[in-house]
Amino acid sequence: MSAQITARDLFDALGERLQLRWLVSTAAGTRTLASDEHTARRPSLAGYLNIIYPNKVQILGSEELTWLDALDAAQRWVTLQKIVNFSPLALVITKDQACPPDLRSIAEEAQVPVWVSPRRGHELLTLFQYHLAGALAPRVTLHGVFMEVYSIGVLITGESGAGKSELALELITRGHRLVADDAPEFTQITPDVLDGTCPEMLRDLIEVRGLGILNIREMFGHTAVKRNKYLRLIVHLSGNTGEPPDAGMSRLLGDTGSRRVLDMDVPTITLPVAPGRNLAVLLEAAARLHILRAKGIDPAHAFIARHTRHLKQGQ
């Protein structure tokens, strides 16, 4: 899924916090930056004025304005033309400095937004980079129910009718929290972090066969839902209860593996669905086991090592 952001979106998101004033080209708010525009390019999303590898948000501090003032008239005009020809999302002037008349004129003509802020350049740079990186990060929608179980994000997957929503409802009654039902969205905000959220249309809602749509926040209170959570584990509900070919090792180590989500491998555990199995208890145990393994404690491997020592001692 290709993410994008407009100049107006960025201004609305950070304008109050950074005390931004829209100085030039308010009509250019629809100017758009898409995630695929910068992935193969060298510049960053936001940075100080750079006319060699231009940033999409160009910040003009005291040093940048002083450098422009030192250019002769012809060179200055060529430089300003280069700046606007790169089609930046916006130009931002720091510390409430005055916008040079020629920059204002050329930006107005090229429909490039110019913003002014009383904040210093490094403050603007940090927040612009952070917000743009999050807004344009790779994202994907997966089918399943995303829950917070024992403080970790768990995605419950399975075929339609496998009982994902019923399991989620039972987990909620046991004190765990719902993030998203049916179509959680995951954004890769760092190389090893996937942040899961719920689409606005589905927020607080879960669909259970026979009951229809339920509002979890209204039924169980505000603490029963959570706005977002990092994905740490996928639990897949499988209708296949037959013994796998390597049933011996599978019973010792569990049916584990990994699933590629964007650029990250997420640990998976498969739980067979069968009459009489308490899936809520099993999923809670899976979450606790994942937490132990993350700490370097693996009961199965510890048992195998203990068994190996015992055999060696008996020889």
Does residue 104 carry a catalytic annotation? no
DSSP element (H, E) containing 172: helix 164-173
The DSSP letter of residue 98 is P
User: Which residue in 82, 120, 251, 288 is the catalytic one?
Assistant: 251
Which secondary-structure segment (H or E) carries 170?
helix 164-173
How many CB atoms within 10 Å of residue 23? 19
Which of 17, 82, 122, 143 is the catalytic position? 143
Q: Tally Cβ neighbours within 10 Å of residue 301.
A: 12
CA angle 3, 178, 173 (to 5 degrees): 175
Looking up tokens 């910040």 gives 59
Task: Locate 124 and state its tokens.
Answer: 């603007």
Which residue in 177, 187, 184, 188 sits closest to 198, CA to CA? 184
Among the listed residues 31, 139, 181, 182, the single catalytic one is: 182
Which residues, including other chains, have CB under 8 Å from residue 10's CB and lie 6 or more apart? 57, 89, 90, 128, 131, 132, 135
> What's the Cα-to-Cα distance from 234 to each of 113, 180, 197, rounded to whole Å?
44, 14, 15
Q: Which residue has the tokens 């931004």?
A: 20
* CB-CB contact of 86 with 63 (8 Å): no
The active-site residue, picked from 164, 226, 232, 290, is 164
> Active-site residue 143, yes or no?
yes
| Beta-carbon contacts of residue 105 (< 8 Å; ≥ 6 apart) | none
Active-site positions?
143, 164, 182, 251
